[in-house]
Amino acid sequence: MAVCTPLLEGILVGLLCVLTGVMLACLVRAVRGPRYTHRLTALNLICTVVVLMVCILSYVLGASYLVDVAILYGLLNLLAVAVLSRISVRRHREKRGKRS
């Protein structure tokens, strides 16, 4: 693994702070809504930001095993979003069928 210089480490820590702000903004969107799809998109973005943060921490700390954790978390995110999207589509179709 490449050596992390003090300048690069400072930049990456600053990037982690920015990503934390993005995650908090997504959390606000997930809580406020207004629709289920907005919440689902915010959840997906939060998980993606967490994967980015874990990868950056892996580089800064020099712990390569954290990349494996990030990959597993990304796969779990993909699975969760696929399941929740399927539930959302099914729910939408049921509502649409009742209106007709």
Write down the pLDDT at residue 9. Answer: 92
User: Is 12 inside a domain boundary?
Assistant: yes
User: Do the beta carbons of residue 51 and residue 77 sit within 8 Å?
Assistant: yes
User: Is 56 inside a domain boundary?
Assistant: yes
Q: How do residues 7-61 score in pLDDT, each as one tens digit? A: 999 999 999 999 999 999 999 999 998 888 889 899 999 999 999 999 999 999 9
Cα–Cα distance measured from residue 46 to residue 23, given in angstroms and rounded to the nearest whole number: 6
User: Is 69 inside a domain boundary?
Assistant: yes
Q: For the chain, how many structural domains are there in total?
A: 1
Look-up of token digits 């990349």: 67
Q: Which domain holds residue 55?
A: 6-99
User: Is 1 inside a domain boundary?
Assistant: no
Look-up of token digits 């993005």: 22
Look-up of token digits 């003090």: 6
User: Is 33 inside a domain boundary?
Assistant: yes
User: Is 80 inside a domain boundary?
Assistant: yes
User: Is 95 inside a domain boundary?
Assistant: yes
Read off the pTM. 0.85
